[in-house]
Chains A and B, each alone.
Chain A
Amino acid sequence: MSSPTSKSTTSWLNQMADTPTGETTFLPDPADLFQKYQELQSYVGWTETDAERAKALLPDLRGHIPSLIDDFYEEITRHPDTNRVMTGGQIQVERLKATLRRWLEDLFIGPYDEQFVVRRWTIGRRHVEIGLDQVYTNVALSRLRSGLCRCLCEQTKCSAQELAAACHTLSVLIDLDLALIEDAYQTEYVRRVQSIERLAVMGQMAGGIAHEVRNPLNVIKTSAYFLRNAQNPPPEKVQEHLERIERQVRIANDVISSLSNFARSNNTALKPFRLDEHLREVLADLEHDSKIQITFDCPSESPIVVADESQIRIVIGNLLRNAIEAMPEGGRLNLSIHPHQDWVEMVVSDTGKGIPFEHLTRIMEPFFSTKSDGIGLGLSMAKAIVEKNEGAILVESVPDQGTSFKIRLRRGPNGTSSI
């Protein structure tokens, strides 16, 4: 029995292989593929009798195979969408005909083992590589199936019952192959789409980070330029620039903290804790102007929630900071706890400028920000964290009246907290 390490190395080696063109291709673990194939065989009721019957069909059909293959490729080259993938001319067609001949013989003879399944699977992956839509595989195999059944029907030596059994076996065999090819096609297709999406997200992130870091750098650089080149600037001007540098260093540092918090939010440790005490601690650390009045409503019997305490602190911190920033002229910030039977709702509401309706659906997207110094990760991180903590987050806002964020967390049994 292999150790977990060797198993994972083997899986990794199986999954990624470089093609001659340097492109990385994907292959699932052959054992997993084979298991899946066996499950499919069992689903359609494939038996050893079917395997024997399939093998017995080949001698009668062998003579018809060249004409069926010619018909198969005639149809492919006739259709513009399928002919588009035939970039190598007649030589490629002849090579593909030989491949199809081997594929057909394999189909009848088997053995239907792990290597067989891998060979079939790679066909679907290859179709994605060359840009052949799966629908054409489906209809091409349908055409081949009809041709093979027609050839079987022309055999006069077998009974109607034997013919029906033979057609059934043939049909199931082709369907099983088609299922493998389609599975491979979908896997490879999704993998490629995800890879493109990842690149797009990386581009979006790069843009967001570039904007948020270069702005403070710009202030620092231009302040440095001024301090170095200004002729006899008044001391208060020098002080002003030094304060700007300090402020912008703090902003740049906050950007980095946001990113590292975002990365850290991956590891979630759910434990019971008392929400009211936790919120009081967060409020005690909160910096705010005296123009902002903060209130905290908590029921006499404080509920216990099950969540990752340090992550919930990040969420609450982000929501409270947002609420304060939404009230530059001052206002009221209310934090409240509402216990329900299975969950606890925590509400952070402000009397600030509110969120325009068109922004409400986007505020939790990463890098969406309407603030001049906001990286746009705070709310997307809050959403990601709350969902990882098996909770939910909801926002309601009325422009010029205020915004409420509601967070629901799983309620724990009272008395289980270690606090």
Chain B
Amino acid sequence: MVENQCVATILIVDDNVDSCRNLADILSAYGYDVDIATSGTDALNLVRRRDYLIALLDLKMPEMDGITLSEEIHRECPAIIAMIVTAFLSEEAEERAKNAHIDQVIAKPVDVPRLLSCVREAASQRVKHSSPTSVS
């Protein structure tokens, strides 16, 4: 694995702790700064304390699902780019995701190169948006 040039902060939320830790191991190895949470409540506490670039959210979680969580996160911190990672996307969830602040929907089992490309793309967008306008 190659070190990443852009150190971005990523929050992974999944009630399956093994899923969380695996993605955290991979993304950390690529140089990203990763936190994990296993519930929506824990995730929101983290969002209030740290400035994340990306939130990778499992869809089906007890208490609060990924789409609801993405809306809560958006209310707390609108700049966070939310991506849903899901094992099954029902038509109803797909419709909700379209109307929510979701940047990407990534299927499980995760295609890691595709996930990395989405993360890089999101990181580069953030750099573009946050860079000052050049003055000639």
Q: Which residue of A lies closest to B91 (CB)?
A: A203
Q: Once bound together, how far apart are the Cα atoms of A212 and B109, in whole Å?
A: 11
Instruction: Check: B132 CB closer than 8 A to any chain A CB.
Output: no
Question: Does the CB pair A226–B87 fall under 8 Å?
Answer: no
Interface of B is mostly: loop
The residues in B between 8 and 27 inclusive whose CB is less than 8 angstroms from any CB of A are 15-16, 18-19, 21-23, 25-26
Question: Does the CB pair B22–A214 fall under 8 Å?
Answer: no
Question: Does the CB pair A214–B26 fall under 8 Å?
Answer: no
Q: Once bound together, how far apart are the Cα atoms of A211 and B23, in whole Å?
A: 18
Q: Which residue of B lies closest to A231 (CB)?
A: B1
A205-229 interface code vs B (CB 8 A; 1 in, 0 out) = 0010011111101111111011001
Find chain B residues with CB under 8 A from A219 CB: 16, 18-19, 22
Q: Which of B15, B29, B107, B109 contacts A226 (CB 8 A)?
A: B29
- Minimum C-beta distance from A176 to chain B (A): 46
- Minimum C-beta distance from B119 to chain A (A): 14
Find chain B residues with CB under 8 A from A372 CB: 15-16, 38, 61-62
Q: Which of A210, A223, A230, A231 contacts B88 (CB 8 A)?
A: A210
- Minimum C-beta distance from B61 to chain A (A): 7
The residues in B between 39 and 63 inclusive whose CB is less than 8 angstroms from any CB of A are 60-62
Q: Once bound together, how far apart are the Cα atoms of A33 and B33, in whole Å?
A: 73
The residues in A between 186 and 214 inclusive whose CB is less than 8 angstroms from any CB of B are 207, 210-214
Find chain B residues with CB under 8 A from A332 CB: none
Find chain B residues with CB under 8 A from A217 CB: 108-109
Instruction: Check: A373 CB closer than 8 A to any chain B CB.
Output: yes
Question: Does the CB pair A215–B108 fall under 8 Å?
Answer: yes
Residue of B1, B25, B29, B107 with highest tally of chain A CB at under 10 A: B25
- Minimum C-beta distance from B49 to chain A (A): 24
Q: Which of A225, A231, A240, A371 contacts B26 (CB 8 A)?
A: A225
Question: Does the CB pair A214–B108 fall under 8 Å?
Answer: yes
Instruction: Check: A244 CB closer than 8 A to any chain B CB.
Output: yes
The residues in B between 51 and 87 inclusive whose CB is less than 8 angstroms from any CB of A are 60-62, 87
Q: Once bound together, how far apart are the Cα atoms of A248 and B22, in whole Å?
A: 12
Q: Once bound together, how far apart are the Cα atoms of A372 and B59, in whole Å?
A: 11
Instruction: Check: B136 CB closer than 8 A to any chain A CB.
Output: no
10 residue pairs, one from A and one from B, having the closest CB atoms: A214-B87, A372-B15, A222-B22, A218-B108, A221-B109, A218-B109, A210-B88, A211-B88, A217-B109, A211-B87
- Jot down 5 A-B pairs with beta carbons below 8 A, ordered by A: A210-B87, A211-B60, A214-B88, A237-B25, A241-B22
Given A215-B87, A230-B29, 13 more A-B residue pairs with CB atoms under 8 Å apart are A207-B88, A214-B107, A214-B108, A218-B19, A218-B22, A218-B110, A222-B23, A225-B26, A226-B22, A226-B25, A229-B1, A244-B22, A370-B62
